[in-house]
Chains A and B, each alone.
Chain A
Amino acid sequence: MSDAEDVDLRVELAGIALRNPVLTASGTFGYGTEFAPFLDLRRLGGFVAKSLTLEPRRGNPPPRIAEAPSGMLNAISLENVGVDAFVREKLPALPDGVVVVASIFETEIDRYAEVAKRLSGVARVAGLELNASCPHVKSGGIEFGQNPAVLATLVRAVRRATTLPLLVKLSPNVTDIGEMARVCEAEGADGLSLINSVQALEVDVERRRPVLSNGLGGLSGPAIRPIALRMVWQARRAVKLPICGMGGIASAEDAVKFMLCGATAVQVGTQNYLDPAAAAGVVDGIRAYCARHGFSRVADLVGALEMRRP
């Protein structure tokens, strides 16, 4: 047992120095300022901003969300202020010392690359997270991240467009997550974020229609946590890239599970809706866990899962 105050919480994720391993997930944390009444953003390792497209976009018509057992579905679509307004208005509104990772999201590969380029010279942007879960029109609407060849082309194009640390956020809607991880490693990504939400459908039985206007949505929340842990563990075994793990993290114990399975850092997502100060609580809880278990450095938790031998 060591003193909680003495635990070294610093980690380095894909070349980004973080004061602790807890970030917040894109799409669940707005542009950061929405949380200012509830927590000091500088207590977090960092946050991943709402995914940005080249132009501002309006989202889907309602209903956009649906509750599910221990989770929720969303189909917001691409709603965001656009990359230029983000740089001009959203970034300057953040206090100094907040680590910002910008998430990028587009429908065509050259547009992805252009968004990456526009963010590259911006001092406040510590890194990019490439959201590969957008449907790719030219591949018949399947996600970029569901086809290894398409994913390779996308990562290559964005890698050429930026020297910023580049995390690729993987879709869980694949047969072999290890294959997708290897593609990213081969194309020069600096790290992986996983998992994105799990494709899902909820039905309004009275009206015999999908609940969501879009039909399908993405399932998030504690319901997907064991799936996410399994995929982080598999990706860890497939590549050497650092991993930012996420999927239903609601507590410090959940975050530690991801680190034990091989995540260097974690992202708190849906829980931010329930409790806007949740991520700060996760930081405190990880510190206490390390002290309780005699870890002086949080980085020593990474990949420390001991698998049972048969």
Chain B
Amino acid sequence: MAVPAPIRVDAQVASLSQEGVASWRLRLRVPDWPGFEPGQFVMLSPGPRGAAPRTDPLLPRPMAVYRERRADGEDRAGSLREAEIEILFKRHGRGTALLASCAPGDRVGVVGPLGHGFAAISGRALLVAGGTGIASVYELAARLERRAPGSARVLLGARSGADLMGVSDFEALGVGPLIATEDGSLGKRGLVTDLLEAELARDASAHVYACGPTAMMRRCAEIAASRGAPCSASLENPMACGFGVCLGCAAPLRAGGFALVCRDGPVFDAAAIAWEVMP
């Protein structure tokens, strides 16, 4: 399927709600939304409240599209006159604090959908996500489940149960999730990569999809490689533009040189990334 052409529009906040400790669910009404592929992202600029344009913080923030909903409430890909897109994010800096302070009706600049998402695959899939990376894999899980029920399994990890996002959404899809928390407050005590090791030990034929902190994705890549399983990772480098011109989001490649996360990714073959020199 062709990647939808990106748009640049002013969206409107439909709702914003806090979930867990520092996680937020933002719904945006986006005119002319062209649909998106799982793994694609948008650049969000919370708009000015008054007449003067905001300059601080200056840059838009890249956010995975969690899922979309047509105005009549039905999920659908393809071109939409107006859609609601959902963003899950954590407040960890000034940009996300600004997003977390939005009110319904506020304007948010949207550029997207951007990047290349997860390539469609067949067979079994293991989706491994931690932190804000959870937002990148929901739509993939939904589409895999729709196409081949039971083929996808979702593994989520966090420091603590309260840090997790979207758990009930994954439960509603029927794709698990299996959960690991470092403090043992939810699911198994330990790392989500421990869950991956156990799953691959049982069946190494699965395709691994990973999104989360660099250390987590690097470990996923190592585990998958050791089992001979293919692994795709969705990177989350800082970027200023999202469409290949600031050149800020360079990711070092094992073959030498760099790829741009926004233009060449954000999803990469995990074996192509030089994880040991990722900042």
Contacts and interface: CB of A to CB of B under 8 A. Distances in A.
Interface of A: 28-30, 34-35, 37-38, 50, 58-65, 67-72, 74, 76, 79, 213, 221-223, 250-251, 270, 272-277
Interface residues of B, number: 34
A29 B240 CA distance: 12
Given A70-B58, A222-B55, A65 B248 contact: yes
B39 interface: no
Contacts of B278: 62
Contacts of B85: none
Contact of A30 (B57, B245, B248): B245
Interface in B257-279: 257-258, 277-279
A276 B42 CA distance: 13
Contacts, number: 103
Interface of B: 5-8, 45, 53, 55-60, 109, 111, 237-241, 243-252, 257-258, 277-279
Given A37-B5, A37-B7, A273-B246, A58 B258 contact: yes
B56 A70 contact: yes
A64 B237 CA distance: 10
Question: DSSP class of A's interface residues: helix, strand, loop or mixed?
Answer: loop
B55 A74 contact: no
A65 B241 CA distance: 11
B249 A62 contact: yes
Contact of A59 (B57, B241, B250): B250
20 contacts: A35-B245, A37-B5, A37-B7, A59-B250, A62-B252, A62-B278, A63-B248, A63-B279, A64-B250, A65-B238, A65-B240, A65-B248, A70-B55, A70-B56, A72-B58, A221-B55, A273-B60, A274-B58, A274-B59, A276-B8
A250 B258 CA distance: 30
A216 to B, nearest CB: 16
Contact of A61 (B56, B58, B60, B250): B250
